[in-house]
Amino acid sequence: MHTLSSAQSTKLSPSQKAKEIYPLAISNREETENSRKLACPIVEHLKGAELFRMGLPKFMGGWEDNPVETLRVYETLSSAEAAVAWIVWNNHLACTFGRYLAKEDMENVYGNFSHVYANSTRPEGLANVVADGYMVSGRWTLVSGCELADWFVLRCLVTSKDLPKTLGPGAKLKLFFIPKSAVKILDTWKVGGLKGTGSHDIEVAETFVPEKFAVDFNSPVPIDTAYSRLPIGCINASGCAAMSLGLLKAAIDELTGMCMERVTPGKNPDLRDRLTVQSAIAKSRTILSSQRLQLHNSVTKLWEKSSKGESYTDEELADVWTASCQAANASRAMVSEIYAVAGTSSLYSLFRIERIHRDIHAVLQHGIVQPHWMNQAGMAYLGLTPSASMFRT
């Protein structure tokens, strides 16, 4: 089995581990695509490298340092196979939610280092208040990595005789930690982009969840560290942006490789002789570098303030939101341009550009990088109060 040894895992940084996994992700791309979930060798290697656990405290295998390192992980993995980065990114969020659990409950959910996690922040379930906890039922869509997961973190509308039965004013939402034994997977993920993420629908039927495994974004954070003080929303957005940058990097590398392989001296002009190709390569390289720099700088600023125990301003949060949305959108636009200038080759699955083009459009369907967040950031820059609850969370 192709996994890092514990000694290697301790010595290498997360981004170095990602580089070790890169060739494995490449060599298993077709199995990942055809099975609609990550190939087993990739999953086992990611477990051994503890890349599913980066959002946890350090004593549980987490990173607990500047989150720019996690962005490097997503970018590297995405440049090999977007589905791999996507599942690692989703696990980071599912592990981040563990910050709201008491230490012993966190160890109950996250104590097994071989476990994988999935989540849905869509409030598509109902949690009826009962003695000592809740009865949870519902169907959640787009639950990435659900077939791999040992635990799920699922958001529900909490209901009782005193609470609203529908979403809207006064609605109470919570996240519930639920083991895989209570989850039924429905085969619904029949798509083009990000096929390997296995983002099927899931169902939970009348499952009791103790009070201690129900949290919300206002719950106390028992283990107070600089990492656990980081805002969840914009850090999650920065991860989505990093995956987009990784896909752009892959498209640049693929087009460059195609140009170098198709050199026929003395015959018709080659692919690399086309003005559109030359322009696209030049423009894409500076877009990649500049957008990455802005994204990393804005996230580092939050990390530095969190390390000092200082509060963030709305403008500093806006910097991360805008850097994330702009990096993602600029990457998608540039990948589309590369797809166009590569000509008919882009149509063939033989060339990675075809898959990259599908995947980046799928990545940008995520709500965390939609134009709405640019509007929220603009409010902050104009001295207004951003209205979205996740802007500061």
Same domain for 358 and 279: yes
Residue 6: pLDDT over 60: no
Same domain for 265 and 189: no
Q: What is the CATH number for 373?
A: 1.20.140.10
Domain boundary among 110, 136, 156: 110
Same domain for 346 and 249: yes
Nearest to 161 by CA among 188, 129, 139: 129
**Is residue 222 in a domain?**
no
Q: How confident is the model at residue 250 (pLDDT cuts 50, 70, 90)?
A: very high
Same domain for 250 and 206: no
Q: Rounded to 10 degrees, what is the CA torsion of 221, 222, 228, 229? A: 60
**Is residue 81 in a domain?**
yes
Same domain for 265 and 178: no
The domain tally of the chain equals: 3
Query: Which CA distances in Å does 105 have to 24, 62, 100, 368, 393?
Result: 34, 16, 10, 28, 22
Tens of pLDDT, residue by residue over 215-229, are 999 999 999 999 999
- What end-to-end distance do the CA atoms of the chain give, in Å? 40
Residue 1: pLDDT over 60: no
Owning domain of residue 155 = 117-215
Q: State the pLDDT at residue 230.
A: 98
Same domain for 151 and 293: no
Same domain for 338 and 274: yes
The pLDDT of 69-73, averaged and rounded, is 98
| Contact indicator for 172, 163 with CB cutoff of 8 Å | yes
Same domain for 75 and 139: no
Q: What is the CATH number for 86?
A: 1.10.540.10
Same domain for 154 and 25: no
| Contact indicator for 320, 305 with CB cutoff of 8 Å | no
Q: State the pLDDT at residue 318.
A: 98
Q: State the pLDDT at residue 72.
A: 98
**Is residue 193 in a domain?**
yes
Q: How many percent of the chain have pLDDT more than 90?
A: 92
The pLDDT of 326-349, averaged and rounded, is 96
Tens of pLDDT, residue by residue over 152-183, are 999 999 999 889 889 988 899 999 999 999 99
Same domain for 90 and 15: yes
Rounded CA-CA distance 205/183 in Å is: 8
Q: State the pLDDT at residue 2.
A: 38
| Contact indicator for 307, 263 with CB cutoff of 8 Å | no
Q: State the pLDDT at residue 110.
A: 98
Q: How confident is the model at residue 9 (pLDDT cuts 50, 70, 90)?
A: low
Report the predicted TM-score, pTM, of the whole model to 2 decimal places: 0.96
Same domain for 152 and 86: no
The pLDDT of 76-85, averaged and rounded, is 98
**Is residue 17 in a domain?**
yes
Q: How confident is the model at residue 7 (pLDDT cuts 50, 70, 90)?
A: very low
Q: What's the mean per-residue pLDDT of the chain?
A: 95
Tens of pLDDT, residue by residue over 26-36, are 999 999 999 99
Tens of pLDDT, residue by residue over 81-127, are 999 999 999 999 999 999 999 999 999 999 999 999 999 999 999 99
The residue that leads in pLDDT, 229 or 6, is: 229
Q: State the pLDDT at residue 5.
A: 44
Strand partners, 209: 134
